[in-house]
Amino acid sequence: MADTDSPTTPDLERKLATILSADVAAYSRLMAEDEELTLRTFRGHKEVFEKLVELHRGRVFNTAGDAILAEFGSAVEAVRCATEIQAALRTRNDQLPEDRQVRFRIGVNLGDVMVQGQDLLGDGVNVAARLQGAAEPGGICIAGSVYDQIRNKLSLAFTPLGELNYKNIPQAVRTFAIAGADGLGVLPAPPISKSRRSLGFPLWPTIAALVVLIVAGVGAWAYFDHQRSTIESALQAQVTAEKAASQSRAAAQAAQQKAQVAAEKLAAEQAQERADAERQAAQASQRQVENEAHALAAERKKAEATRLAAAATPAPVHTASASPDPLRASPDPLRASPAAPGPAQKADLRGLYRGQICYGPGESDPAHCYGAQVIVLDNRISGEWPGRVRGATVYLSGRILPTGDVEIHMHSKRADGSRFAVIDMIGKLRDGKIDASGSFRNGRSVTLNWQKN
């Protein structure tokens, strides 16, 4: 008879999945230097990250601090998502100083994982995390299992790093770095020599040196003693030169930081001057609207007085019979109701759109353009990026009508929540391109031209 009191262990669910692991390089330093700015930038990057994961039919199943883990059913979609994430975040980082950029390292692995609720566990996840640690800031490393699935399906350039041994991973992992993607440019990749160092120092040079020493014998001792003195003198000179070079670098860095602070101060002053000019223009526009309203009210009063005077004068009586007016009897073809527009053509508009935003010349600012990108999901347009004013963020939102027309609103928001630089635009989305134009509240022109990536 079976022992019915003994506990039973349910079968553990396993599956094959492509895991994407990402974290922020130098996150502790960034937080130590400026917590609020780092957290604000990280949240904006993370929102773009999660939207692109959703766009490529993946899901984020775990986050902790600056780390993000996502699952994909396809290795091709996972790698395509990783390259688009790095390209989108590089565009956002280009708006920030070099030492304030928040750059992700990404690792991608295809392997067997265990399912625990919404979370995934096992070596398949651990290897993805180790690959992420081997990637450069802003770069991507993939396992050989992923490489075998995508090498003939995506236009990518790879740097083979060989079979690397990772901490707590029993087997060496064949590793590749993605060095470039078609249409997205070059990605940072570790040098090949790094993988060779990880495999251990070769023994044959050491054995050869020992053989030479044995053959040379005692008779070469004097010669080596002389050489040793020469080498020590050279090393001492090298230490002195390195110390001087280190001092020069420190002085250069201090001068660079000083120049950067001065430049930021000048930029802030110029931004304040532009904001004051925009405020004055808005006040002048408001005064003009009020004057026009007063003038219109006066005209209405005058017209009302004329109407009352005319009403008080008796109208002449005509005895002739009224004849029908042929102009009134005939229908006006120009007033016919327009035909209803046909249904809009349906197309997959979702995706990442990138391009230029160009400002026309302003009162104190020349015409200029800069790069930006937005994400289109379910006929909605959204995007944000750091503004030119320190601590400010530019927000963009819009919608796509069934006719293909687009309505776009942009504004900048300071850290205290106040808004400025408000822009409204209209345009078209056609053949994977968004073309729109509009103006600031002070009349300065704005155009954008974006293309689906």
Q: What is the DSSP letter of 12?
A: P
**CA-wise closest residue to 184 among 84, 93, 89, 103:** 84
SS (H, E, C) 82-110: HHHHHHHHHHHHCCCCHHHCCCEEEEEEE
**CA-wise closest residue to 149 among 189, 176, 114:** 176
* Dihedral sign for Cα atoms in the order 53, 120, 28, 158: negative
The structural domains of the chain, with segments of one domain joined by +, span: 14-198, 218-281, 351-452
Which percentage of the chain shows pLDDT scores above 90?
56
Q: Structure tokens of 282?
A: 């808005």
Find where tokens 């009224």 sit. 322
Query: pLDDT band at residue 292, thresholds of 50, 70 and 90?
Result: low
Q: What share of the chain is helix, strand, coil (3-state, %, to 5)?
A: 40, 30, 30
Q: What is the pLDDT of residues 406-424, one digit of tens each?
A: 999 999 999 898 999 999 9
Q: What is the mean pLDDT of the chain?
A: 83
* Dihedral sign for Cα atoms in the order 130, 135, 140, 145: negative
Which percentage of the chain shows pLDDT scores above 70?
79
Cα(161)–Cα(68) distance, integer angstroms: 24
Query: pLDDT band at residue 173, thresholds of 50, 70 and 90?
Result: very high
Over residues 310-318, mean pLDDT: 60
Over residues 137-146, mean pLDDT: 98
Within this chain, domains 14-198 and 351-452 share the same CATH topology? no
Q: What is the pLDDT of residue 263?
A: 85
Over residues 87-114, mean pLDDT: 96
Given CATH 1.20.120.80, say whether it is the number of domain 14-198.
Answer: no
Tell me whether residue 360 is exposed, middle or buried, using C-beta atoms within 10 angstroms of its C-beta: 0 to 12, 13 to 18, 19 or more.
middle
Q: Structure tokens of 242?
A: 């390195």
The gap between the terminal CA atoms of the chain, to the nearest Å, is 67
Cα(415)–Cα(295) distance, integer angstroms: 41
Q: What is the pLDDT of residue 185?
A: 82
Please tell me which residue, 240 or 48, carries the higher pLDDT value: 48
Q: What is the pLDDT of residue 271?
A: 76
Over residues 95-123, mean pLDDT: 96
Q: What is the pLDDT of residue 302?
A: 83
Query: pLDDT band at residue 301, thresholds of 50, 70 and 90?
Result: confident
Q: What is the pLDDT of residues 425-449, one digit of tens each?
A: 999 999 999 999 999 999 999 999 9
Given CATH 2.40.128.380, say whether it is the number of domain 351-452.
Answer: yes
Q: Structure tokens of 246?
A: 């280190």
Over residues 347-351, mean pLDDT: 81
pTM, full prediction? 0.50
Q: What is the pLDDT of residue 216?
A: 56
DSSP notation for 268-333: HHHHHHHHHHHHHHHHHHHHHHHHHHHHHHHHHHHHHHHHHHHHHSPPPP--SPPPP-HHHHS--G
Count Cα atoms within 13 angstroms, Cβ side, for 175: 32
Q: How far is CA 63 from CA 77, 118, 231, 234, 271, in A?
A: 20, 12, 53, 52, 37
Q: Examine the pLDDT at 291 and tell me if it is beyond 90.
A: no
Q: What is the pLDDT of residue 339?
A: 41
